[in-house]
């Protein structure tokens, strides 16, 4: 398995606060990796740097052999690294299928004049996008809701739309920030299955932040623990559960972990 | 480009000129400061750029004019009445008009454009378009070394300083003032601390516009009073808050004084539209490269 | 149960536009309605004042269309009049100084506006919300001052007068009626262009940036790219309307393009409705004639403007276009 994502000495300071300190790890093609840590540990900040919405103070991010440090999100996602947001982030006023369609526009590079002139290349590309949207609707189980307005759907559905938009960009690696937060146990189990499907059938590697321990322990091959911006442990679910450092610094201290 | 406009005499003492310009600049700067602090308060509390701020300056000037010439009140009482009246008016306007736009940057701002139209044209209907003049507050000239100061301007300085000191005391040492500052800094944290922000919105808006009105009242005896006088102070307040960093009161203070001094010093050397051009160019550069203002951290 | 199925079906019809756009259905209703609308003034040809108003409405439609395009990517420009002025001055200077044909002058005006918008946009589109508003406001003021101080080139405060009327393919548009035909054709084309644009994926990505910039950026639609595109194209509309206006009135001055004009455009847009093609048309149609019709009571009328603006913002944030949508019980835009 080749290395897909390589993080090297990544740091971010806000004013005086070091939100992430010297974070390094690797993610191999086809892996599901979990990033855990108490509130304010710097997980979202790390995500924001990897996906390009924050510029790191120091460090290097390599994705599929290319240095993407400091690149804009729209550039990074075109290379196959997509992300979702911690809060449900969708186009509230648009239908579900239009939300996904906008994600699928990621690789749509027909020039405007050709779109206006309705050239045959444009029509073919549009057809292709429709198929992709249909596919994503099926995978995420959103097909029954395709014509609903996203803003009118339940929170859990909105989170799923967020994932669907990310999927529509046709990623090799998908970063998910607390995808299961706010889901009920049933939805959560379903979500775990979706993640496995994505990896097994669609060959998408996953890196996700989650407080829901059962989900993390059940789906991730590798877990990275972040406390106060620093990586304190890394390993399989078993190793993490038994790591004294984690128990002391995280599991013991934070009640979230038992959830 | 360099031509002396202020004095015909070519043998004018240069240090005298600079001294005079600096003093005038500080006086104008104080007024810009009043405008800018009011503007910052409104922005800080509501997150709304108040395009009607200049119209409250204008209302303040008319209020002072009416109090002094029609009601024969002393100037001090006129300024006080202006403050209270506009505070109440601002409070009512916030509750009636602006309430729906709290925290809504763009819609709130456009609403203040509507408000400005209403206020300015209302004044036009009541007072007519012609400039009115008001008797000076004091006669005579004071000389500080070579620098000459008309008493009337000295009054303006004294009043502005008093207002600023009172404001400082209110913001720093009263309960309401501290709550207001907390809201300006971060509304969510303020809410979490149990500050009743429902109450803070009208208070912040009221005090903010009342400060603009006081600036107008103080300037009324110095300049003429007409419904259209609000636009220049508004523009200056914009410049000051951009230079000072939106939402920063110390930044606004520094920027207001610098702006006043710059304008006064530039005045003998170049036309006012040319100095405005320089200023706007500078402001645009500032917004692009240092949107957090003179005192703020660099970058966005 | 019944109700929900009904809305669902309704949504299907109303909301699939960008996605399943069978190019045709909406167009068929729009185009004839517009043509009828633009034909009405021809019936009033006897009254030059009405024709004059109709010309101004058409030019405003083009102007506000440009602003609407920029606004759909989430930015509100307070220097739209500056780009109108740039187009006007550049075109007029070509016509008066270099005696270029009308078509070349207008093209030059549009090109200057686009170039300026591109350069300005490259540095200021990083700013969002209030900061963008303030910087554009300052730029508008700066433009006015530069025109004022422009000496012989811009004619300073007096501006430039005696601009020859538009001439196209040997025909001179020197009567109000003939110019109306030209202006109406241009306004019509600008509308059709926008309808077509917002049916394409490009148009959809512009809306995506306006709806949720962070999400758009994270899913591959560049904020900067989309906003630059809209800013340049929207400013081209402004420059175009300015070039036409100058050749219609025969006169330009710095005050024809001051901040009040930018604000007036914003008011038309907000009252008509943001986020739809119909909004700017409605805004220009309603708001242009009012000042001309009520010349005697400007103050009352301006107060009414202010009140209307606030009421619309409060109760119809989608603008007057929203009324139709509200009546039909849906939340979107046409
Ligand atoms: N834009 C910012 N400016 C200043 N400080 C920030 C910013 N973003 C995050 N922080 C701070 O950085 C630290 C890490 O925040 P981050 O959001 O990355 O934590 P997290 O691990 O995602 O927490 P949670 O589990 O609550 O989502 C926090 O202390 C936070 O307050
Ligand atoms: Mg987080």
Q: Which residue of B has its CA nearest to C299?
A: B121
| Per-range mean pLDDT, top range of B144-148, B153-157, C47-51, C283-287 | C283-287
β-strands A58-63, A66-67 pairing: antiparallel
What 8-state DSSP symbol labels residue A208? Answer: E
Quote the pLDDT of residue B58. 95
What 8-state DSSP symbol labels residue A255? Answer: G
Burial B46-58 (b: 16+ CB within 10 A, else e): bbbbbbbbbbbbb
The DSSP line for C253-311 is -GGGGSHHHHHHHHHHHHHH-TTSSHHHHHHHHHHTHHHHHTGGGHHHHHHHHHHHHHH
Each domain of chain B, given as residue ranges in start order, spans: 15-230
- C305 → closest Cβ in B110, B117, B283: B117
Percent of chain B scoring above 70 in pLDDT: 90
Looking at per-residue pLDDT, the higher value among C230 and B30 belongs to: C230
CA angle B68, B70, B71 (to 5 degrees): 70
Cα→Cα distances C110→A20, A258, C92, C93, C248, Å: 49, 64, 12, 13, 16
Lowest mean pLDDT among A56-65, B77-86, B170-179, C277-286: B170-179
- C208 → closest Cβ in A102, A110, A118: A102
Residue A198 maps to which CATH number? Answer: 3.40.50.300
Task: Answer yes or no: are the C-beta atoms of A176 and A208 closer than 8 Å.
Answer: yes
| Per-range mean pLDDT, top range of A196-210, B186-200, B264-278, C53-67 | C53-67
| Beta carbons within 8 Å of C285's beta carbon, 6+ residues apart | C57, C61, C272
Atom of ligand 1 minimally distant from the CA of A47: 18
Lowest mean pLDDT among A34-38, B268-272, C72-76: B268-272
Instruction: Return d(Cα C13, Cα B213) in angstroms, integer.
Output: 54
Q: How many helices (H) and strands (E) does chain C have?
A: 17, 4
Task: Report whether pLDDT(A29) > 70.
Answer: yes
Domain around A76: 1-80+171-259
Smallest CA-to-CA distance from C57 within C306, C283, C248, C312 is with C283
Per DSSP, the three-state class of B114 is helix
Instruction: Return d(Cα A43, Cα A48) in angstroms, integer.
Output: 9
Cα→Cα distances B178→B33, B95, B175, B181, B183, Å: 20, 22, 5, 5, 9
Angle between helices C298-315 and B105-127 (to 10 degrees): 160
Q: Is the dihedral of CA A118, A123, A129, A133 positive or negative?
A: positive
Average pLDDT over residues B121-131: 90
Q: Provide the mean pLDDT of chain B.
A: 82
Looking at per-residue pLDDT, the higher value among A237 and C76 belongs to: C76
Q: A110 lies in a domain?
A: yes
Instruction: Return d(Cα A9, Cα A180) in angstroms, integer.
Output: 29
Quote the pLDDT of residue C329. 56
Quote the pLDDT of residue A82. 93
Q: A116 lies in a domain?
A: yes
Average pLDDT over residues B91-111: 86
Q: Answer whether C217 sits within 8 Å of A72, measured CB to CB.
A: yes
Instruction: Return d(Cα A61, Cα A7) in angstroms, integer.
Output: 5
Instruction: Return d(Cα C288, Cα C291) in angstroms, integer.
Output: 7
ipTM: 0.90
Q: Answer whether C15 sits within 8 Å of A94, measured CB to CB.
A: yes
Give the mutation candidate from C6, C19, C128 for the A interface (greatest A CB count, under 10 A): C19
β-strands A32-36, A205-209 pairing: parallel
- The secondary element (H helix, E strand) that includes residue C239 is helix C223-249
Instruction: Return d(Cα C247, Cα C16) in angstroms, integer.
Output: 42
Which chains form contacts with chain C, at 3 or more CB pairs under 8 Å?
Answer: A, B
Instruction: Return d(Cα C270, Cα C28) in angstroms, integer.
Output: 27
Task: Answer yes or no: are the C-beta atoms of A65 and A81 closer than 8 Å.
Answer: no
Average pLDDT over residues A170-198: 86
Average pLDDT over residues A32-52: 90
- The secondary element (H helix, E strand) that includes residue B291 is none
Quote the pLDDT of residue C23. 44
Looking at per-residue pLDDT, the higher value among A150 and A241 belongs to: A150
- The secondary element (H helix, E strand) that includes residue B143 is strand B141-144
Give the mutation candidate from C125, C141, C213 for the B interface (greatest B CB count, under 10 A): C141
Query: Of the residues A170, A192, A221, which one is the last residue of a structural domain?
Result: A170
| Per-range mean pLDDT, top range of A1-10, B200-209, C84-93 | C84-93
Q: Write out chain C residues lying below 8 Å of A103, CB-based.
A: 219-220
Å between B81 CA and nearest CA of chain C: 26
When pLDDT is cut at 50, 70 and 90, the band that residue A257 belongs to is very low
Instruction: Return d(Cα C319, Cα B297) in angstroms, integer.
Output: 39
Kindly state whether residues A61 and A106 are assigned to the same domain: no
Task: Report whether pLDDT(A108) > 50.
Answer: yes
Size of interface A-C (CB pairs under 8 A): 112
Question: Mutation test of ligand 1: which of A41, A175, A207 has the most ligand atoms closer than 8 Å to its C-beta?
Answer: A41
How many Cβ atoms are within 10 Å of C131's Cβ, its own excluded? 18
Residue keyed to tokens 């409060």: C314
- The secondary element (H helix, E strand) that includes residue C172 is strand C171-172
Kindly state whether residues A191 and A257 are assigned to the same domain: yes
Lowest mean pLDDT among B85-89, B138-142, C123-127: B138-142
Task: Report whether pLDDT(B4) > 50.
Answer: no
Cα→Cα distances B115→B47, B89, B96, B97, B103, Å: 16, 12, 11, 9, 17
CA angle A21, A236, A169 (to 5 degrees): 70
Smallest CA-to-CA distance from C246 within C52, C97, C89 is with C89
Average pLDDT over residues B202-214: 92
Task: Answer yes or no: are the C-beta atoms of C198 and C279 closer than 8 Å.
Answer: no
List own/partner pairs for B281-286 with CB under 8 A and 24 or more apart: B281/C142, B283/B239, B283/B242, B283/B243, B283/C135, B283/C138, B284/C124, B284/C135, B284/C138, B284/C139, B284/C142, B286/B242, B286/B243
Q: Answer whether A102 sits within 8 Å of C202, measured CB to CB.
A: no
Instruction: Return d(Cα C214, Cα A22) in angstroms, integer.
Output: 26
Task: Answer yes or no: are the C-beta atoms of B233 and B35 closer than 8 Å.
Answer: yes
Kindly state whether residues A3 and A64 are assigned to the same domain: yes
Per DSSP, the three-state class of B103 is coil
Kindly state whether residues A73 and A177 are assigned to the same domain: yes
Quote the pLDDT of residue B150. 76
Q: Which residue of C has its CA nearest to B112?
A: C310
Query: Of the residues A129, A154, A170, which one is the last residue of a structural domain?
Result: A170
Å from CA of A21 to ligand 1 middle? 13
- Positions of E strands within chain A: 3-14, 17-28, 32-36, 58-63, 66-67, 81-83, 173-177, 205-209, 222-227, 230-235
Per DSSP, the three-state class of A13 is strand
Å from CA of C300 to ligand 1 middle? 52
Average pLDDT over residues B25-36: 87
Instruction: Return d(Cα B123, Cα C162) in angstroms, integer.
Output: 37
Å from CA of A27 to ligand 1 middle? 23
**Main-chain dihedrals φ then ψ at residue A4, nearest 5 degrees:** -95, -45
Task: Report whether pLDDT(B111) > 80.
Answer: yes
Q: Answer whether A148 sits within 8 Å of C8, measured CB to CB.
A: yes
Q: Answer whether C204 sits within 8 Å of A102, measured CB to CB.
A: yes
Q: A85 lies in a domain?
A: no
- Specify the number of domains making up chain A: 2
Task: Answer yes or no: are the C-beta atoms of B33 and B257 closer than 8 Å.
Answer: yes
Per-10-residue mean pLDDT, chain C, length 334: 36 42 56 79 78 92 96 93 95 90 93 95 84 88 88 83 80 82 92 91 93 92 94 96 93 90 92 88 88 74 87 86 69 42
Alpha-helical regions (H) of chain B: 14-46, 53-65, 75-96, 105-127, 151-173, 175-185, 187-192, 197-219, 231-244, 249-266, 272-289
Q: Write out chain B residues lying below 8 Å of C308, CB-based.
A: 114
Atom of ligand 1 minimally distant from the CA of A41: 21
Average pLDDT over residues B6-18: 57
Quote the pLDDT of residue C298. 77
Query: Of the residues A154, A170, A186, which one is the last residue of a structural domain?
Result: A170
DSSP bridge pairs for A3: A28
Kindly state whether residues A113 and A240 are assigned to the same domain: no
Tokens representing B218 are 């103080």
| A86 in contact with ligand 1, CB cutoff 6 A | yes
Looking at per-residue pLDDT, the higher value among B144 and B160 belongs to: B160
Q: Answer whether B116 sits within 8 Å of C313, measured CB to CB.
A: no
Quote the pLDDT of residue C26. 60
Per DSSP, the three-state class of C135 is helix
DSSP bridge pairs for A32: A206
β-strands B147-150, B141-144 pairing: antiparallel
Task: Answer yes or no: are the C-beta atoms of B66 and B201 closer than 8 Å.
Answer: no
**Main-chain dihedrals φ then ψ at residue C265, nearest 5 degrees:** -65, -40
Instruction: Return d(Cα C291, Cα C298) in angstroms, integer.
Output: 7
* pLDDT per residue as tens digits for the range C185-223: 999 999 999 999 998 999 999 999 999 999 999 999 999
């Amino acid at each position: 398995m080749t290395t897909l994502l390589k993080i090297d000495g990544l740091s971010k300071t806000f004013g005086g606060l070091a939100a992430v300190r010297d974070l390094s790890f690797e993610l191999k093609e086809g892996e599901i990796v979990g990033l855990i840590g108490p509130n304010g540990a710097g997980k979202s900040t790390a995500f924001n740097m990897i996906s390009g919405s924050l510029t790191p103070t120091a460090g290097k991010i390599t994705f599929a052999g290319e240095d993407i440090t400091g690149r804009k999100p729209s550039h990074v996602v075109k290379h196959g690294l997509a992300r979702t947001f911690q809060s449900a982030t969708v186009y509230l006023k648009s239908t579900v299928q239009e939300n996904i369609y906008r994600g699928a526009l990621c690789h749509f590079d027909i020039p405007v004049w050709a779109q206006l002139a309705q050239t045959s290349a444009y029509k073919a590309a549009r057809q292709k996008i429709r198929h992709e949207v249909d596919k994503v609707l099926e995978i995420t189980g959103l097909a029954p809701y395709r014509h609903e307005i996203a803003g009118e759907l339940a929170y859990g559905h909105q989170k799923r739309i967020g994932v669907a938009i990310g999927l529509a960009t046709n990623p090799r690696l998908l970063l998910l920030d607390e995808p299961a937060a706010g889901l009920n146990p049933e939805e959560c189990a379903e979500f775990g299955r979706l993640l496995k499907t994505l990896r097994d059938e669609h060959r998408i590697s996953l890196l996700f932040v989650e407080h829901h321990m059962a989900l993390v322990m059940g789906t991730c091959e590798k877990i990275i623990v972040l406390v106060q911006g620093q990586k304190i442990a890394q390993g399989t679910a078993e190793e993490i559960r038994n790591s004294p450092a984690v128990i002391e610094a995280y599991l013991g201290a934070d009640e979230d972990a038992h959830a | 480009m360099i031509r002396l406009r202020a004095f015909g005499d070519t043998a004018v003492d240069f240090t005298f000129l600079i001294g005079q310009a600096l003093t005038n600049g500080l006086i104008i700067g104080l007024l810009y400061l009043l405008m800018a602090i009011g503007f910052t308060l409104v922005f800080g509390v509501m997150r709304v750029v108040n395009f009607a701020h200049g119209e409250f300056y204008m209302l303040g000037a008319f209020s002072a004019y009416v109090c002094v010439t029609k009601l024969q009140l002393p100037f001090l009482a006129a300024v006080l009445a202006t403050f209270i009246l506009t505070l109440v008016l601002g409070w009512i306007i916030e509750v009636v008009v602006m309430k729906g736009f709290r925290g809504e940057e763009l819609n709130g701002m456009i609403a203040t454009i509507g408000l400005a139209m209403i206020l300015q044209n209302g004044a036009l209907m009541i007072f007519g378009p012609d400039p009115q003049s008001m008797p000076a507050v004091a006669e005579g000239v004071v000389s500080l070394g070579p620098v000459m100061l008309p008493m009337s301007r000295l009054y303006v300085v004294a009043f502005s300083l008093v207002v600023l000191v009172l404001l400082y005391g209110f913001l720093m040492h009263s309960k309401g003032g501290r709550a207001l500052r907390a809201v300006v800094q971060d509304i969510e944290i303020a809410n979490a601390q149990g500050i009743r922000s429902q109450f803070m919105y009208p208070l912040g808006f009221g005090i903010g516009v009342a400060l603009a009105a006081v600036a107008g009242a103080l300037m009324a005896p110095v300049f003429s009073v007409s419904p259209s006088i609000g636009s220049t102070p508004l523009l200056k307040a914009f410049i000051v808050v951009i230079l000072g960093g939106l939402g920063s009161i110390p930044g606004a203070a520094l920027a207001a004084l610098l702006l006043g001094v710059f304008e006064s010093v530039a005045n003998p050397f170049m036309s006012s539209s040319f100095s405005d051009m320089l200023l706007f160019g500078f402001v645009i550069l500032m917004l692009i490269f240092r949107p957090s203002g003179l005192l703020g951290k660099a970058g966005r | 149960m019944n109700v929900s199925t009904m809305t669902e079906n309704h949504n299907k019809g109303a909301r699939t536009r960008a996605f399943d756009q069978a190019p045709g259905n909406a167009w068929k209703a729009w185009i004839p309605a517009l043509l009828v609308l633009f034909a009405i003034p021809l019936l009033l040809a006897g009254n030059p004042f009405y024709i004059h108003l109709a010309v101004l409405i058409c030019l405003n439609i083009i102007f506000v269309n440009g602003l609407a395009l920029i606004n759909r990517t989430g930015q509100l420009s307070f220097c739209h009049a500056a780009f109108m002025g740039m187009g006007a001055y550049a075109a007029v200077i070509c016509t008066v100084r270099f005696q270029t044909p009308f078509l070349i002058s207008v093209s030059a005006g549009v090109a200057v506006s686009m170039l300026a918008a591109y350069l300005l946009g490259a540095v200021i589109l990083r700013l969002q919300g209030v900061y963008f508003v303030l910087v554009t406001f300052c730029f508008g003021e700066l433009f006015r001052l530069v025109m004022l101080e422009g000496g012989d080139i811009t004619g300073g405060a007096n501006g430039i007068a005696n601009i020859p009327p538009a001439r196209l393919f040997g025909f001179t548009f020197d009567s109000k009626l003939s110019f109306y035909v030209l202006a109406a054709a241009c306004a019509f084309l600008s509308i059709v262009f926008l309808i077509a644009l917002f049916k394409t994926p490009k148009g959809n990505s512009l809306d995506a940036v306006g709806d949720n910039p962070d999400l758009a950026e994270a899913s591959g639609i560049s904020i900067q790219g989309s906003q630059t595109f809209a800013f340049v194209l929207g400013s081209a509309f402004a420059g175009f309307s300015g070039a036409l206006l100058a050749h219609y009135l025969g006169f330009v001055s710095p005050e024809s393009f001051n901040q009040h004009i930018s604000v007036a455009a914003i008011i038309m847009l907000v009252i008509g409705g943001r986020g739809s093609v119909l909004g700017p048309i409605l805004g220009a149609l309603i708001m242009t004639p009012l000042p001309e019709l009520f010349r005697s009571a400007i103050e009352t009328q301006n107060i009414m403007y202010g009140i209307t603006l606030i009421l619309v913002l409060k109760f119809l944030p989608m603008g007057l276009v929203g009324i139709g949508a509200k009546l039909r019980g849906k939340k979107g835009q046409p």
